[in-house]
């Protein structure tokens, strides 16, 4: 991974934070944008590698730290390189849990995987033991991988229960999850 080459391409990408909205992106690079959110925009580097470019350094530093913690487990994208405003990481494939649950039931097995995932968050040292289903991807082998981990660390409050995950599962699934 040549960060020199990456940084050269990133000179032609501008990402700006917008209050209460997704980042604004001006992309004059050859890289295709594959998604964006409140903190950054993600570009396809190759089939297996993507680059997340942040609107500000602090968000980048925080997600970099969370991903660094996550490297102990196989539930997070592999971390390849990082700079002031970007992180080069593994592209996560598979179907996200929001899409998956639109056509598939929440099984006992999947509920267990979600609980295991929350335990992984705790084990690697995250502060927020919670994640939205949209950012959780089901792999071919049934294992789960998560993206967008920036907000899991350096929180100045405690999170007594996984509110985001539970609410995102929906009422019926929430009940099923509780009985597992
Ligand atoms: N490692 C990844 N592999 C595949 N797609 C990704 C990856 N990281 C981000 N994306 C895509 O880019 C979108 C925005 O990234 P995200 O990390 O959620 O940004 P933000 O922190 O701004 O919310 C995601 O919804 C997803 O579609
Ligand atoms: Mg996001």
Supply the pLDDT for residue 148: 98
Tens digit of pLDDT at every position of the chain (180 positions): 789 999 999 999 999 999 999 999 999 999 999 999 999 999 999 999 999 999 999 999 999 999 999 999 999 999 999 999 999 999 999 999 999 999 999 999 999 999 999 999 999 999 999 999 999 999 999 999 999 999 999 988 888 899 999 999 999 999 999 998
Which ranges constitute the DSSP H helices of the chain? Answer: 3-10, 57-70, 97-103, 108-124, 163-169, 171-179
What are the residue boundaries of the structural domains of the chain, listed by start?
3-90, 95-179
Six-digit token pair at 84?
Answer: 């002031």
Supply the pLDDT for residue 169: 95
SS3 label, residue 174: helix
CA of 71 to the centre of ligand 2 (A): 19
Supply the pLDDT for residue 157: 83
- Which of 97, 99, 148, 168 best tests ligand 1's pocket when mutated (most atoms within 8 Å of CB)? 148
Supply the pLDDT for residue 112: 96
Task: Decide: 146 and 136 in contact? Cβ < 8 Å.
Answer: yes
Question: 95-179 — its CATH code?
Answer: 1.10.510.10
Fold for 3-90, please state it.
Phosphorylase Kinase; domain 1 (3.30.200)
Supply the pLDDT for residue 159: 84
Nearest listed ligand to the Cα of residue 147: 1
Supply the pLDDT for residue 156: 84
Supply the pLDDT for residue 51: 98
List, chain by chain if needed, residues with CB within 6 Å of any ligand 1 atom. Answer: 34-40, 42, 50, 52, 77, 89, 91-92, 147-148, 150
């Amino acid at each position: 991974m040549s960060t020199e080459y990456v940084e050269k391409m990133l000179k032609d990408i501008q990402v700006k934070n917008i209050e209460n909205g997704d980042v604004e992106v001006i992309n004059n690079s050859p890289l295709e944008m594959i998604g964006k959110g409140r903190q950054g925009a993600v570009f396809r580097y190759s089939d297996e590698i993507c680059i997340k470019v942040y609107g500000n350094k602090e968000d980048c530093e925080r997600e970099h730290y969370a991903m660094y913690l996550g490297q102990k487990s196989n539930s997070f994208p592999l971390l390849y390189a990082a700079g002031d405003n970007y992180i080069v990481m593994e592209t996560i494939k598979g179907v996200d849990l929001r899409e998956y649950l639109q056509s598939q039931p929440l099984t006992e097995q999947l509920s267990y995987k979600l609980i295991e995932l929350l335990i992984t968050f705790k084990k690697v040292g995250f502060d927020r033991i919670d994640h939205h289903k949209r950012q959780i991807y089901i792999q071919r082998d049934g294992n789960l991988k998560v993206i967008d981990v920036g907000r899991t660390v350096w929180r100045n409050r405690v999170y007594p229960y996984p509110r985001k995950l539970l609410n995102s599962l929906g009422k019926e699934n929430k009940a099923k999850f509780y009985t597992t």
